[in-house]
Structure 1
Amino acid sequence: MCGIAGIYAYSASAPSVDRAEVRSIRDHMASRGPDGQGEWFSDDGRLALGHRRLAIIDVSERGAQPMQSADGQLVITFNGEIYNYRELRRQLERLGHVFRSDSDTEVLLHLYQAKGTGMLQDLRGMYAFALWDAHKQALLLARDPFGIKPLYYTPTHTGATRSNGTLRFASQVKALLAGGHADTAPEPAGHAGFFLWGSVPAPFTLYRGIRALPAGHCLWVGAQGAAEPQPFSRITDILAHAAANPAQGSVGDALDAIGAAVRSSIAAHHVADVPVGMFLSAGIDSALITALSSAHGERPHTLTLAFAEYVGTPNDESPLAEQLAAQLGTRHAAVMVRKEDFIEQREQLLAAMDQPSIDGVNTWFVSQAATLQGINVALSGLGGDELFASYPSFADLPRIRNLARPFSRWPGLSKGRRQLSLPLLIRITSPKYAGLVASSSNSCGTRCRHIPCRTATSALCWAGVSGLNLPIRALTARALPT
């Protein structure tokens, strides 16, 4: 990962960019980019872009950022990786584009020159970037369809008291706070979302003056400030289309399609100029990734997090992980974590956590261990459970929602049912299930595009929850026996 940052004084009445503030925001993210730092300032003092680098592709200085186009009209600061950048580069070269580096960052510059924002439809990868177009005198912010890479900004038309005709952006909320000019009034939706779900739902943060650019959206900032974020790829639309148009064929066809998709994804994630490791938990997802990754280049590094309190119990995954690593021939390391380690590092862990999350402790310790092992890029099975509905709860949610759907015929019952049922449901189940049942009559189906939903009572869109297992249902709906 890298860290990107910038300040754009778009209004003529706004003060010029404070270079010290830019550097404070950028360098607050030093842990995101330990391999280098960069900055670019416009001649008129109205715009500054900053970058902290973790070198993965073209680790030479030619890949340093912020990066300018050859004619100086475009400047980009980019966090992420474009997996199909080599194919895109070959296409651009056939059109006459000449490259000065081997980086995917430069491919973005040339692709924008060729297609404008239409470039976003061509990208396969995880990314967040800011691109300055001197001809348009406007700044483009964009974020990948799954929202893997973070991007936060200070909105210019939401009543934020301290924008003063200036937009600021960064890869971290705390980096914007370090700059000292974000409106830090509490954002109720962000706080409520965290207590309901254990994480802060986008586009909210804990602060009224900081927003997350939604996944699969881009945003233009010009002389009038920031426009509304515009979608270029909605996962909910893709899932809804798949559900409405189920694939034809046999069970074998479905399994072949899934297998090809997984292999293609793993191969794409191995596009790097540095070694790629794996977080091996001994679960099916990480074991599958490790097995398929073993076919790419040299023996991969694998890393397992073990907990001292679980040693000798069925909850200890490390022995099975070691067996898997031996069978797959990986260079394996197991790192033991004790209760005392958490106590000793608690304050450091919380300081490193950008937005609050109840699921960040394991990530902290395994990432720390990866750093000590010299692993800068690692794959994990994270997200596999959601995509493949591995746990019963992922399959139960849409069933519960479907069972509650008949109540939607009587909208007047909604308020009373919520008031009567919610206290009891919370006592016997989780807030997620309770909220789903209580809000069922307000659900608007898989076509809902609003987060938070403008008709539902909870902080998240139920369509997004109920669609979690749609990819597999869409592949197998007509192939598997009912």
Structure 2
Amino acid sequence: MCGLAGEFRRDGSRADVSAVERMAATMSDRGPDDSGVWSQGPTALGHRRLKIIDLSAASGQPIVDAAAGLTGVFNGCIYNYRELRAELQAKGHRFFSSGDSEVVVKAYAEWGLDFVDHLIGMFAVAISERDTGRLVLARDRLGIKPLYLAESPGVVRFASTLPALLAGGGIDTTIDRVALAHYLSFHSIVPPPRTILAGVTKLPPATVRVYEADGSTHERVYWDPAFGRAAERAGWSERDWQDALLDSLTTAVRRRMVADVPVGVLLSGGLDSSLVVALLAGEGQARSGLATFSIGFDAVGGREGDEFVYSDLVAKTFGTDHHQIRVPTGDLLPPLEAAVSAMSEPMVSHDCVAFWLLSQEVAKHVKVVQSGQGADEILGGYHWYPPLAGVDREQALETYAKAFFD
């Protein structure tokens, strides 16, 4: 996890470098290993780095490619960066680092605005063109990596977190009433492009937005998932679907092993994280000392506060370097403010403090972890999904709303 920030002036003045420095400084927790700021005329870019791929200074950011006339900042991980690097080298591009950040900039040099179509991974990117003066912002297909924006007639500012934008100053912090309605009815979710603040928006997922030097703006949505049934799969058996799912999950886990530092797993003992451990073990990760982490709490009202019996079993089965983190009830309230401060936007979940405490402990051992987060959304694990299986498509929205909306 890194953090990026920047400013693009549209009023003929030079970028406020000190504002970008303030914005980037708020993200030292996202990028504790290195920092950098670059400016040229109306554009300034800042970055905080967490070293995961290419631990050398060569992959420090902002990345400046003088030959191509490009400067970029990048937050995320490109899983196919090695393959892209080889392809770009074959096209004549020369590299000064061995990381994925430079691959992103070189991909833009080769394919222009279509560079995102070649990237497999999670990312937020800002690229400045020296010769045209344009600024390009892009976000990954699912919007895994955040990119917040504050726009006014004379200036555009952007950052990986909402608090970073506030540190730059001049933000309208009144509550967006439509966003508040979404927040209160839609399980604390504010869909893009809105945020809870009227003066801040989000770049939508799968979007490339271009700010031209003349002040004009245009954008492209480069990916739109199809939710219809695929005719070629109409005859699939249950086993066919199981095999396809296993193949996809294995690919996903394998891709996320791309790192020059050890990769651990947040192991709750549930199906999702246990499957991730099993798949990593199948890829040989356990032999290199796979670290797993589980958190548990005191029993309350006769209900167990942990699932250690399951996580211990998985850790033993696959021979992981397992860490049990026990949190007494009295330790839950003190970190509440810190947990809230770590959020880019307000959210609601009973396990927010638990995740914060778990992350604090995990950070003492590894920089990167895989987890089972998101599996319920994809595989219909929550209680509001099963009712949809028994209704016609025309009734799906009403059925979903009845089960999901607060």
Residue 190 of structure 1 and its aligned partner are, at CA, apart by 1.6
1:21 corresponds to which letter in structure 2?
A: A
1:375 corresponds to which letter in structure 2?
A: V
Assess, with a 3 A threshold, how the Cα gap between structure 1 residues 133 and 251 changes in structure 2: closer, same or farther. Answer: same
Distance in 2 (alpha carbons) for counterparts of 1:275 and 1:312: 38
Residue 137 of structure 1 and its aligned partner are, at CA, apart by 1.5
Which residue does 1:114 correspond to in 2?
Answer: 110
Provide the TM-score with structure 1 as the length reference.
Answer: 0.78
Is residue 212 of structure 2 the alignment partner of residue 222 of structure 1?
Answer: yes
Assess, with a 3 A threshold, how the Cα gap between structure 1 residues 187 and 400 changes in structure 2: closer, same or farther. Answer: farther
Aligned residues: 400
* Contact 1:213/1:229 (8 A) holds in 2: no
1:128 corresponds to which letter in structure 2?
A: A
Residue deviations 1:273-297 (CA, integer Å, cap 9, x gap): 0000000011111001001112334
Is residue 353 of structure 2 the alignment partner of residue 361 of structure 1?
Answer: yes
Residue deviations 1:3-37 (CA, integer Å, cap 9, x gap): 0000111232xx42222211110011110000110
Distance in 2 (alpha carbons) for counterparts of 1:405 and 1:324: 37
**Alignment match of 1:91 (pick from 87, 92, 108):** 87
SS at match of 1:33: coil
Task: Using the aligned pairs only, state the percent identity.
Answer: 35
Assess, with a 3 A threshold, how the Cα gap between structure 1 residues 343 and 101 changes in structure 2: closer, same or farther. Answer: same
Residue 174 of structure 1 and its aligned partner are, at CA, apart by 0.8
Distance in 2 (alpha carbons) for counterparts of 1:143 and 1:406: 28
Which structure shows the higher helix fraction? 1
1:192 corresponds to which letter in structure 2?
A: A
Residue 114 of structure 1 and its aligned partner are, at CA, apart by 1.1
Assess, with a 3 A threshold, how the Cα gap between structure 1 residues 280 and 134 changes in structure 2: closer, same or farther. Answer: same
* Contact 1:153/1:213 (8 A) holds in 2: yes
Distance in 2 (alpha carbons) for counterparts of 1:285 and 1:71: 46
Which residue does 2:168 correspond to in 1?
Answer: 179
Assess, with a 3 A threshold, how the Cα gap between structure 1 residues 22 and 90 changes in structure 2: closer, same or farther. Answer: same
Residue 253 of structure 1 and its aligned partner are, at CA, apart by 2.2
Assess, with a 3 A threshold, how the Cα gap between structure 1 residues 352 and 406 changes in structure 2: closer, same or farther. Answer: closer
Residue deviations 1:29-60 (CA, integer Å, cap 9, x gap): 11000011011011x3x111000000110010
SS at match of 1:239: coil
* Contact 1:200/1:357 (8 A) holds in 2: no
Distance in 1 (alpha carbons) for counterparts of 2:74 and 2:26: 17
* Contact 1:3/1:32 (8 A) holds in 2: yes
Residue deviations 1:418-439 (CA, integer Å, cap 9, x gap): xxxxxxxxxxx9x942677xxx
Which residue does 1:480 correspond to in 2?
Answer: none
SS at match of 2:384: helix
Is residue 296 of structure 2 the alignment partner of residue 296 of structure 1?
Answer: no
Distance in 1 (alpha carbons) for counterparts of 2:79 and 2:383: 33
Assess, with a 3 A threshold, how the Cα gap between structure 1 residues 19 and 348 changes in structure 2: closer, same or farther. Answer: same
Is residue 379 of structure 2 the alignment partner of residue 388 of structure 1?
Answer: yes
Cα RMSD, aligned residues only: 2.4
Which residue does 2:20 correspond to in 1?
Answer: 22
Assess, with a 3 A threshold, how the Cα gap between structure 1 residues 27 and 397 changes in structure 2: closer, same or farther. Answer: farther
Residue 310 of structure 1 and its aligned partner are, at CA, apart by 5.4
Distance in 1 (alpha carbons) for counterparts of 2:105 and 2:230: 36
Distance in 1 (alpha carbons) for counterparts of 2:289 and 2:196: 43
SS at match of 2:158: strand
Residue deviations 1:295-335 (CA, integer Å, cap 9, x gap): 33412100011112359845521121012101110000011
Which residue does 1:338 correspond to in 2?
Answer: 328
- Pair member with larger Rg: 1
Q: Which runs of 5+ in 1 are unaligned?
A: 156-162, 408-428, 437-457, 459-482
* Contact 2:298/2:304 (8 A) holds in 1: no
2:379 corresponds to which letter in structure 1?
A: F
Distance in 1 (alpha carbons) for counterparts of 2:64 and 2:301: 53
Residue deviations 1:359-410 (CA, integer Å, cap 9, x gap): 33333222122113x2110000011111111234222246467473799xxx
Distance in 1 (alpha carbons) for counterparts of 2:8 and 2:397: 51
Which residue does 1:41 correspond to in 2?
Answer: 39
**Alignment match of 1:165 (pick from 141, 154, 161):** 154
* Contact 1:142/1:216 (8 A) holds in 2: yes
* Contact 2:297/2:305 (8 A) holds in 1: no
Distance in 2 (alpha carbons) for counterparts of 1:375 and 1:216: 30
Q: Which runs of 5+ in 2 are unaligned?
A: none
Residue 178 of structure 1 and its aligned partner are, at CA, apart by 1.2
Distance in 2 (alpha carbons) for counterparts of 1:352 and 1:309: 27
Which residue does 2:7 correspond to in 1?
Answer: 7
Residue 252 of structure 1 and its aligned partner are, at CA, apart by 2.4
**Alignment match of 2:244 (pick from 253, 257, 272):** 257
Which residue does 1:433 correspond to in 2?
Answer: 402
Distance in 2 (alpha carbons) for counterparts of 1:384 and 1:176: 31
Distance in 2 (alpha carbons) for counterparts of 1:362 and 1:406: 33
* Contact 1:309/1:338 (8 A) holds in 2: no
* Contact 1:397/1:433 (8 A) holds in 2: no
SS at match of 2:334: helix
Distance in 1 (alpha carbons) for counterparts of 2:59 and 2:109: 18
Distance in 1 (alpha carbons) for counterparts of 2:393 and 2:305: 34
Residue deviations 1:43-101 (CA, integer Å, cap 9, x gap): x3x11100000011001000100001141610000000000000111111111111111
1:296 corresponds to which letter in structure 2?
A: G
Distance in 1 (alpha carbons) for counterparts of 2:300 and 2:246: 34
2:14 corresponds to which letter in structure 1?
A: S
Which residue does 2:131 correspond to in 1?
Answer: 135
Residue 118 of structure 1 and its aligned partner are, at CA, apart by 1.2
Provide the TM-score with structure 2 as the length reference.
Answer: 0.92
Distance in 1 (alpha carbons) for counterparts of 2:404 and 2:302: 39
Assess, with a 3 A threshold, how the Cα gap between structure 1 residues 367 and 152 changes in structure 2: closer, same or farther. Answer: same
Which structure shows the higher strand fraction? 2
Residues 193-208 of structure 1: pairs in structure 2 closer than 5 A: 193-196=182-185, 197-208=187-198
Distance in 2 (alpha carbons) for counterparts of 1:321 and 1:103: 34
